[in-house]
Each structure stands twice: as structure tokens, then as C-alpha cells.
Structure 1
Amino acid sequence: MKVTLLGTGGSAGVPMIGGADGGGDWGACDPGEPRNRRTRTSIVVEIVQGQRLLVDTSPDMRGQLLDCRIAGVDAVLFTHAHADHITGLDDVRILNRIAGRPLAAFATAETLAEMTHRFGYAFRAWEPPHFYRPVLEAKPVRPGETIEAAGISVRLFAQNHGRVETLGLRIGDFGYSTDVVALDEAAFAALAGVDTWVVDCFLRGDTHFSHANLDTVLGWVDRLKPRRTVLTHMGTEMDWAWMRDNLPPGVEAGFDGMVLACASARRCV
């Protein structure tokens, strides 16, 4: 199994729109470091049989899939319905054409309701033979379930994201926790024994109402003790070189296009 980090930035990406010359607001991030350029957060999980599960459809999805040379996916799982995780949805029609069929869309009932309200045309029945619009088949799921998506066994757990809940994922010894500010005991139980954990870390020193900061993440790492922790959903405070030089052993910054190769859905390198 391998996991590709399509994007590792927050909802506005890095750099954000703006800057003194209009070339972008980089905050504390060095513009000369390519790994500081971050698109919106998403991953693809691929198993040895070739099936791929896309997690979220960011507004940068088209460029991400091209840059990472991912030629198609077999299903989509949505962690929640915030814009930076769903508004690439229209480009799913090309993924439909590649697959030659509608794609299963796994999400909670609440997320599916919001997506259907905003993108109702994507959830209408397919009208063969063409895909002039995205076609998704809603597959409601609940935290606590273990589902089969694109041939992959995925354990789901709830995460506190401030005003909403998001879905966290556990696949073998790999864990994925985007968009989270607090974890309950059920989430810690789902992550117990995780080997490699990709986790939201939006900022360093300050606190945020819906995203974890570095101190919070390091506290979780101390409790869970994963062999490897990779930070994602990072904002403009999170300079790559600073993290390289200051993060403790076993904790590192992710970057767009990073690939984690996992042996039998277990240890990732």
C-alpha cells in the first residue's frame, strides 16, 4: 500500500492570496523552499492490487492528480463538507470517464446532505453513456464503522473540528487525521498502536478553535507513540526548514507529493 499526500496546506493554501507585491502571503514560510508551497489537503491511498481511494476533493484536485501522476481512482471518501475538502468535485467527471462508471462517495449522512444541497447534480442517477457532469453514488457511513472502500478496509472514527465533526481513518497501521482540534477516547482507541500517522497541525504557538497546534499534536504523539508522525494541513506559520530543525525525532513535516510506501498496509517509509 502507498499513501500520496496530494496537498498539505490549510484552507487558504500556502502562500495565501495577497502579499505586498501580490505574489502571495507566505507568513513565516520561506518562499524559496519548494516544500513550503502547499495546496489544499487531500490524500490518495493505493493498494497493491492497483485500486485507489481518494480522500476529499480539494479545489486543487486537478493539478494535484496531474502533479502526482495519479491516473484515476476507484472511490472517494469525504471527511467533511468544508469547501477546501469538496469544491474540486466537478473534476470527478473526468475520473468517472476514466473508470467508466459512477464512483462511490463515502461520507456521513450530514456531510452527504450538505454536499447534495450544494452539488445536487453530482448525486443524480447516471444517464449513460456520457459523463458531462460528476456522478457519485452516496454511501452513508458512521464513525465507529469499518467499511470497504475501493477494496480497502477503513476504520472510521469521529474527530472534533470545532463547529463540526470530521472523519478520521485507520487503515492497517496507518492513520489519517485531517481537520481536528480535539480527540476523544474513542478516537484514541481507534488510533492505538498506529505506526504512521498523518495529522493536522495548522500552526505553532497560538491556538485555533478548529485546528490543532504543534503543542497539542506533540501531546497526542506522546500518548499514542507512533513510530512516524507526518504533519499536514499546515498554515503559513509552519516553515519547512524550521520544522526540519526543531521537530522531535519521529515527527516531520509533510509536503505536497510526498509518498508513504507501506508494506502490507503496515509500516510506512
Structure 2
Amino acid sequence: MRVTLLGTGGSAGVPMIGGVDGRGEWGVCDPREPRNIRTRASIAVDANHSGDGQGGVLLVDTPPDMRTQLLSCGISRVEAVLYTHAHADHITGLDDIRLLNRVIGRPLDALGTQATLDELMHRFSYAFRPWQPPGFFRPVLVARPIQPCGSVTAAGLTIHVFDQDHGFGRSLGLRIGGFGYSTDVVSLDEAGFAALEGVDTWVVGCFQRTPHRTHGWLPRVLEWVERLRPRRTVLTHMGVDMDWDWLRANLPAGVEPGHDGQVLEIDG
């Protein structure tokens, strides 16, 4: 299985719009380090381990940067999309799914909790109308509601999902074999820790170094890592407080900052 980190940034990306010259607000991130350039958080999971995006690919979320992300990573064929939650930075690239529809020649399954799908159908109602062959002048999605805990099959993968606390809302975490994905989470309950028990490679959201109301921050995430002890932990959903070189120099062994376009090879 191959996991591609399509985007590793927070809701505003890095750099954020602004800055004294109008070219971006970088915070403590060094603009000379290309791995500090972060688009909004998303991953693609290739069940076939081919790495060419030609089949069995699960897309997790459709951020506003989705088009650029897929082109940059050479992924053109997606079998299904799973939504972790319905915040704007995770859904507003949805219209570009029409191009993915054209590649596979059929509607695309959209998985998420009923609450997430209800929000998507409210904001993108046109995408959930029945397909009118032969073309795709609009995205066509088929809603597949899933429970916030349990298992589902999509894109040739068995996916175990679990509920996460996102401060003012909820999100879904994923476990696929030895791989775990936990973005947009501020605390994990015992069910979440149980779902992640024995995880080998864990991609986890870590927005900044100081406490935050809705996202994991560095000391808290490292506490989770100490409890779960994955072989490899990769940080994602990082803001302008998370300089790549500083993180590489200061994180404990087995923990690293992710970067856009990074590919993880997963056994099992």
C-alpha cells in the first residue's frame, strides 16, 4: 500500500495570505525551505501499491488545493473519496471531482458520516443529483453514509473509522492495516486509542507548538505517540508555527514532519 501526503497544511496553508509584501505570512517557517510550503491537508491511499494512480486509489477529503495536488503527484484515477468532516478546508475542492468522474466514466462514491454527507449535500446539492449520461459537466457523487466507528470497504481497501474530538465538532480517524490517519483532532478517547493500537505508521495532525482549542499541538501529540508507540509518526495539518528544519532537529526519534507530495510505503 502506498500513501501520498497530498497536502500537509492547516486551513490557511503555509504561507498564509498576507505578509508585509503581500507575498505571504510565513510565521517562523523559513520561506527558503520548499518543504515549508503546505497546501490543505489530504491524502491518497493506493491499494494496488503501484504508485501510478491507475487504480484502487482512495482520496481522503477534497480540499481547495485538490486539483494542484493531484497534478503534482501524478494521480489521475480515484475510485472513492472519504470525508473526515465537512469543514471548508476539507471539502471545497469538490467540484473538480467531475474530472475524476470523466477518467473512471462513472459516479464516484462519497463516504462520510451522515452529518458530514448532509452538509455536503446542502452545500453541493448539484453533485448528488443522479447522473445523466454520457458526459460529466458537473461532479457526480453517490452518498455512502458510514457510522463513526466500524469498518467499510472502498477502493479495494478495508477501512476502520473511529470518532475524533475536533473541539467544536467531530471528525473521523482512519485505520487501514498498519496505517493510521488522524487529522483535525484535539483529543482522543479510549476508543480512539484502541482503534490505533499497534499502528505502524501514523499520520497525525499537529497544528502548532502551543495549545489550541480544536487541533492537536506538539506536546500533546508527543504524549499520544508515547502511548501508542508507532514505529513511524508523520506530522500533518501544520501551521506557520511549525518550521520544517526546526522540527527535524527537535523531534524525537521516529517522529518527523510531513511535507506535500511525500510518499509512504506501508506494509500490511
Range of TM-score over shorter length: over 0.9
Residue 247 of structure 2: aligned partner: 243
Q: Is 1:27 aligned with 2:32?
A: no
2:138 match: secondary structure: coil
- Kindly state the Cα deviation for residue 91 of structure 1 after the two structures are TM-superposed: 0.2
Specify the alignment match of 1:95 in structure 2.
Answer: 100
Q: 1:171-222 CA distances to partner (integer Å, 9 max, x unpaired)?
A: 0010000100000000000000000000000001x21110010000000000
| TM-score normalised over the length of structure 2 | 0.97
Which of 233, 250, 265 is the equivalent residue of 1:261? 265
Instruction: Provide the rounded CA distance (Å) in 2 between the counterparts of 1:48 and 1:87.
Output: 28
Q: CA deviation at 1:11?
A: 0.1
Structure 1 residue 164: deviation in Å? 0.8
SS at structure 1 position matched to 2:59: strand
Residue type matched to 2:216 in 1? A
1:168-179 aligned at under 5 Å gives the runs: 168-179=173-184
Q: Residue 158 of structure 1: SS of its match in structure 2?
A: strand
Amino acid across the alignment from 1:58: P
Aligned match of 1:143 in 135, 143, 148?
148
**Secondary structure, aligned partner of 1:215:** helix
Whole-angstrom distance in 1 between the partners of 2:86 and 2:229: 30
* 2:223 corresponding residue in structure 1: 219
Separation in 1 of the partners of 2:25 and 2:77?
33
Separation (CA, whole Å) in 2 of partners of 1:126 and 1:178: 32
CA distance in 1, matches of 2:13, 2:75: 21
| Kept in 1: contact 2:236–2:258 (CA 8 A) | yes
- Measure the CA separation in 2 of the matches of 1:208 and 1:243: 18
Normalised by the size of structure 1, how large is the TM-score?
0.97
Runs of 5+ in structure 2 lacking a partner? 50-54
Secondary structure of 1:176 counterpart: strand
Equivalent residues in 2 for 1:8-19 (5 A)?
Answer: 8-19=8-19
Q: 1:132-211, aligned counterparts within 5 Å?
A: 132-204=137-209, 206-211=210-215
| Displaced runs of 4 or more, over 3 A | none
Amino acid at match of 2:62: T
Residue type of the partner of 2:262?
M
CA distance in 2 between counterparts of 1:134 and 1:48 reads: 25
- 1:45 alignment partner in structure 2: 45
Q: Which amino acid aligns with 1:244?
A: R
Q: Output the amino acid matched with 1:91.
A: D
Q: Contact 2:201/2:266 (CA < 8 Å) preserved in 1?
A: no
| Partner of residue 119, structure 1 | 124
- The residue that corresponds to 2:60 in the other structure is 55
After TM superposition, give the deviation of residue 262 of structure 1 in Å.
Answer: 1.4
CA distance in 2, matches of 1:67, 1:163: 33
Letter paired with 1:36 = N
CA offset at residue 151 of structure 1? 1.0
| 2:178 partner letter | D
Instruction: Report how many residues are paired.
Output: 263
- Whole-angstrom distance in 1 between the partners of 2:24 and 2:162: 36
Equivalence for 2:71 = 66
Q: Secondary structure at 1:112's aligned position in 2?
A: helix
Q: Using the alignment, how far apart are the partners of 1:98 and 1:145 within structure 2?
A: 30
| C-alpha separation in 2, matches of 1:75 and 1:35 | 28
The superposition leaves residues 62-102 of structure 1 with CA deviations (integer Å, 9 ceiling, x where unpaired) of 00000000111000000000000000000000000001000
Deviation at 1:145, TM superposition (A): 1.2
Q: Which residue identity does 1:232 align to in structure 2?
A: T
Secondary structure at the residue paired with 1:122? Answer: helix
Identity %: 66
Q: Which amino acid aligns with 1:31?
A: P
Counterpart amino acid of residue 8 in structure 1: T
